[in-house]
Structure 1
Amino acid sequence: MSLKNDFKAFSISNNANVVSQERYEESKDLLTGFPPNDVPTHLLNKILRQSSTIASVVANFIAEQSGDDVLDNGDIAKLTEQLNKALEQKSTTKVPDASLTQKGVVQLTDVVGNSDTLAVTQKLVQEIINSLRENINVKVPNTRKINGKMLTEDIVLSAIDIGAKRPGDIYLSAHPASDLAKGEYIADGTIHTIDSTVGRALNNLSDAYKAAWGIKQNGDKINLPNLFADGRGVFMRAGLTPGVIQGDAIRNITGNVGWRSHGLFTRVSGAFYGVKCNTNIVVAGTVDNSQHSYSAYVTFDASTVVPTANENRPLNVSMIPVIYLGV
């Protein structure tokens, strides 16, 4: 159905009696208005065409967008209502709803749902966060345990609880004795009572372990492993049987010496050195004393060619051997 629009444009034909736009803008009447009894019709027609054209365009817009007839009946309130309705309709049709693929108008919501076009309010976001916090706080069932420890309250996990260490582990520590961690003890053979914390931990070790590392119970006493043989710390070395201590040793050194028929040594070198003979020697076939240097006997001293000590050792730095018991 064709909608009715009472607001028509005036003098819009090609040969309408209207002044040109240039002359219209130059007219003094544009600012002051028409004088009494002197109204040029072509100028008046220009004014009527401009105002009526705008009125007609607006009226058409109202009719198309609102779907109502636009009547020239002097009802300003009705026209205002129709104009507002037309503007709302236009904004609704031209600006789409926002989605994941296009921009547009977004509607707020304060209800949790699965919509891809609604936006949550700040209040709803905070409520969701608070709900998650409450759920997290009660989601850990207090009937569960970690290595036998109930989850009814805060717990402290040791290296044993998480499998990082096991009782009986022996290793070298860079920390001084006063700075060892909880559960670490110097493996120096110290004796503890069997009913003490350390004593019980030692006694709970397997029989094979205790035998390998010399942990023995004597009455109500039990000892830590001792990694200080003869008061000296031992070096760790890979082996198939733990706890075996080998004494210090070096590879065998062999050599030989030779001497003249008179039983004196004529030359020594390296780790050997000779003790000179005090007797003059006459070289065979002459009557003169020999100018050669002869030694009555030869000794061996490795310190003349290499650094020596009262033990065999490589270049080293000391660390403390500890046993981890976890208590």
Structure 2
Amino acid sequence: MVDGRPVAPGRGLDGPRHRGDGGPAGGRPAGLAAPRATEHGVTRLTCLIPAWNEAARLPGVLRAALGHPLIDRLLVIDDGSTDGTPEVARRFGAEVLNMPANGGKTAALAAGIGALEGTHALLLDADLSGLTPHDITRLATPVLDGRAEVTLSLRGNAPRLWRALGVDYISGERVLPVALLKALAPDLPGLPRFGFEVFLNQAMRSQGLRVEIVAWPGVASPWKTEKQGMWSGFRGDAAMIRDILRCQSPRALLEQILWLRRQTARQNRTCSATAAVVSPTTSPSQMPTPSNPARNPSP
């Protein structure tokens, strides 16, 4: 239910919306072609923000996302908050999907995916600080330009190892096809509370999707010890690690990280090749674009 009302298929609170292409539960889902443009020539995103007791931090995320020209619809999934999070979201003008009780991030996202429409989704955590509209644009652009099928953020306060590798494999900020999420939806109810990201990574890897990592040096997410206190935060971190390992084996997690690292290397090679083609003497008409890829000059 959204804002206490049932959601009819293909409709939101504001009337009919574009519907995404579904896909089979196994194999590569249908609908992973290039993003579909709107009548104005720009693909619009549906933004999902799962939130649990984030009344203090959610406004910063909403200020960056609401009204963004690439976002067609924003849905906050309230996961049984007791601090007024849904009321904060409504005051900002966001749609709210109320969970009957706290079920964890995976359950909240599963409910949000059930309400998804359109072709592409933007996933955001509710506790980000420093997020700007420009950060959202940078995260969406590689997918909307067709350079990648999925993007992941790398926040400025990600663990030092992830920053050294150039990959945060459990990043909660992503742009990806709705068809991919819909294809995974039947399996989500069986996942642990914090298993969503690594389960999604496994599907991305098995389907050979092109991934780009987008650095967000000015964006941070608080550690659980900051939000919940030392001992409660440590217990929360331990529960998250336990759930991740219930969802994927240590070997599978290492393979995910190495695969994403290779994706980063491919991304860097592509950037270097583009920079080499666009020399100081290159005229604007010769610059590579998605519709006019770089070509070697004639002898």
What range is the shorter-chain TM-score in? Answer: under 0.3
Q: RCO greater where, 1 or 2, for CA within 8 Å and sep 6 or more?
A: 2
Q: TM-score, normalised by structure 2?
A: 0.17
